[in-house]
Amino acid sequence: MKLNRRHFLKTAGLSAAGILTSQLPFSSAEAVPRKPTTGQSVMGLIAPKMTTVRVGFIGVGQRGSGHVKHFCHLEGVDIKAICDTNAQVLDESIEFVTAQGLAKPARYTGSDHAYKDLLDRDDIDIVIISTPWEWHAPMAIHTMESGKHAFVEVPLALTVEECWQIVDTAERTQKNCMMMENVNYGRDELMVLNMVRQGLFGELLHGEAAYIHELRWQMKEIDSKTGSWRTYWHTKRNGNLYPTHGLGPVSQYMNINRGDRFDYLTSMSSPALGRALYAKREFPADHERNQLKYINGDINTSLIKTVKGRTIMVQHDTTTPRPYSRHNLIQGTNGVFAGFPNRIAIEQGGTGNYHKWDMDMAKWYAKYDHPLWIQMGEQAERNGGHGGMDFLMLWRMVYCLRNAEPLDQDVYDGAAWSVVNILSEESVNNRSNSVNFPDFTRGAWKTGKPLEIVGA
């Protein structure tokens, strides 16, 4: 769903329903685990088997429209309704659906809360939420309250309280709330997960994750598209604004929330210079982009310690001129894999020279490609979406729902990975002192089963 600049500024002072709740004060005391609610754990939750997955979409802008297209090519799916505040992109998605020979979805628009009318329907099983960040938590909560499963774009929430509200709601309603971290379904990430499960790297010690993606050009999106609202977060927070793309796969390698969990974090940011320099160069002196005060450090680096003592470095940089990278590094007692570019060094079972990177990945793909990618990789690449990871993620979601299997990611994962956003800000603002992670699983991480290599 697209929010233009004027709408963003109009809502900037609001905190109701979770909108822009980053303005609320935060204390690390909020990280103290909550007492059990009236619900029960949703770890390993299996929803009743669905012969057909009936879908509603909230938000079909630059991200959500791609999801609509992919769902049109999935078996066992019925697209029931689509909602967006932008009538043009809404109608484009509806027209795409009908052009595939599928039934015309119901249309919802006209106000910021038109999505509630979609949620009132009783013929929808799951809702795909692809809206600006501040809407994710309230929409996910409303979706579960309406008796539907919520699938939410990243990040899941923007405050510790929102994370807890989402967890509480999932446990009380016994509905799935999955943050759609697509990078977990990339070929390389799946292969490394398979390598880890087979013990190639020995005992795991350290991981590195990042979102390094130069996005200053989005500042030129003034009245629509992602930059019309995302730019303003650089004026509101100083921390890791977008931690989950690199962190999701590393967390799965390390069995976070499934035998280990995040314990505490420390974070620091570089000066915030790049956005102001870009605005000065690209916009007139009196342009609104030159009147903003950019406070988010150009590069944020956070260190996470897990309960088992492992370490994870997480970085965020959408400002400096540098090549794209998610790092995707996992180090164990027997060797290391690192991405961008892919390379590997193994003591036992590799080339025999762990002082030099092995850059030839063909033999590693041949031996360790994930069974899911072997089964679906060709179809995923053909349908596209970040090299096929988007299509594979959606296919896997539908497969699990139609076959009564637990999802690969649950609400606890989404909360733990997203809360780095908030905790990094607190640490930066407190001279990089460490901040405790909430245990969103309420202790269930101790007995949680590691993610299986499905299809093996």
439 vs 43: CA distance, rounded Å: 13
**Cα angle at 233 between 229 and 235, to 5 degrees?**
115
pLDDT of residue 36: 60
Mean pLDDT score across all residues of the chain: 93
pLDDT category, 32, cuts 50, 70, 90? Answer: low
Q: Model pTM greater than 0.85?
A: yes
CB 392, CB 380: distance < 8 Å? yes
Tell me the HSE value of 428 on the side-chain side, using a 13 A CA sphere. Answer: 23
Mean pLDDT of 289-304: 98
pLDDT of residue 35: 59
Tell me the HSE value of 271 on the side-chain side, using a 13 A CA sphere. Answer: 4
220 vs 92: CA distance, rounded Å: 23
pLDDT category, 18, cuts 50, 70, 90? Answer: very low
Mean pLDDT of 49-64: 98
Give which of 364, 361, 389 is closest to 377, Cα–Cα.
Answer: 389
Give which of 267, 251, 271 is closest to 259, Cα–Cα.
Answer: 251
Largest CA distance in the chain: 64
Write out the E strands in 89-155: 106-108, 126-129, 149-152
According to DSSP, residue 181 is labeled: -
pLDDT of residue 352: 85
pLDDT category, 34, cuts 50, 70, 90? Answer: low
pLDDT of residue 28: 54
pLDDT above 50 for 24: no
pLDDT of residue 33: 58
204 strand-pairing partners: 332
157 vs 138: CA distance, rounded Å: 9
The b-or-e profile of 163-198 (16+ CB within 10 A means b, else e) is bbbbbbbbbebebbbbbbbbbbbbbbbbbbbbbbbe
Place of tokens 């003034």: 222
176 vs 240: CA distance, rounded Å: 26
Are β-strands 149-152 and 126-129 bridged in parallel, bridged antiparallel, or unpaired? parallel
pLDDT category, 20, cuts 50, 70, 90? Answer: very low
pLDDT digits (tens, 9 = 90+) for 90-144: 999 999 999 999 999 999 999 999 999 999 999 999 999 999 999 999 999 999 9
pLDDT digits (tens, 9 = 90+) for 65-78: 999 999 999 999 99
The b-or-e profile of 71-91 (16+ CB within 10 A means b, else e) is bbebeebebbbbbbbbeebbe
pLDDT above 80 for 25: no
348 phi and psi, to 5 degrees? -115, 120
pLDDT above 70 for 10: no
310 vs 315: CA distance, rounded Å: 17
pLDDT digits (tens, 9 = 90+) for 240-281: 999 999 999 999 999 999 999 999 999 999 999 999 999 999
134-138, 231-235, 348-352, 444-448: the lowest-pLDDT one = 348-352
pLDDT digits (tens, 9 = 90+) for 173-227: 999 999 999 999 999 999 999 999 999 999 999 999 999 999 999 999 999 999 9
pLDDT category, 23, cuts 50, 70, 90? Answer: very low
Alpha-carbon torsion (327, 31, 152, 453), positive or negative:
positive
pLDDT above 90 for 19: no
pLDDT of residue 308: 98
Q: CB under 8 Å to 362, separation ≥6 — which residues?
A: none
